[in-house]
Amino acid sequence: MAMDFPGRDQLIAAFDAAVAASDTASTMRALRSGLCDAIHSGNVRLPDCVFEGCREHYARRELYRSPRHGYCVIAMTWNPGQGTPIHDHSGMWCVEAVWRGALEVVQYELREHDDQRYHFVPAGAIQAGTGSAGSLIPPHEHHTIRNASDTDIAVSVHVYQNEMTHCNVFESEHGEWYLRHPRELHLDAVSPATP
């Protein structure tokens, strides 16, 4: 269910125009620009619930799903130290922007694999601060995200090509080899219980 918030219609209009572009690279540029503009302008105010973390895991809350274009907008809330294992995006493109705080993003290059075992090497790390945005286009979609702060919550907004209900996570076996495990993804309550 879509949430209502100040500036939502303006944001969705920018996203609709972006996904109507003729090629993926143009769509990614336009989505990154639209997200950065929304963050810097202050005209979009996300719902209060997205600034409330969940004790057990980073929170995923759906802001909008386009009935016409199929893309999905998710706000993620990261308590201090929360993060992901190496994961993919099920073959979908995605644009991610830091709305509040800072996140550490590490991209991984897949060197080889056999059945469930995958050989990854780190391909670069960035400290993404408020107002920054990046994109992932398969097959270059493997990465981790982590809130490196010991004290502050971070919030990011993700625009996925379609609704993302599952992905693969990769857990370390030894060295640069990882085992692949499918993971179902769930949305968190709009108003989580206070820890």
The pLDDT mean for the chain works out to 94
| Annotated domain spans of the chain | 48-184
Q: Could you report the per-residue pLDDT of 132-183, keeping only the tens digit for each?
A: 999 999 999 999 999 999 999 999 999 999 999 999 999 999 889 999 999 9
pLDDT of residue 189: 82
Domain 48-184: CATH architecture, name and number where available: Sandwich (2.60)
If you write DSSP's letter for every residue of 17-79 in order, what string do you get?
HHHTSSSHHHHHHHHHHHHHHHHHH------GGGG---SSS-EEEEEEE-TTT--EEEEEEE-
Q: Could you report the per-residue pLDDT of 75-106, keeping only the tens digit for each?
A: 999 999 999 999 999 999 999 999 999 999 99
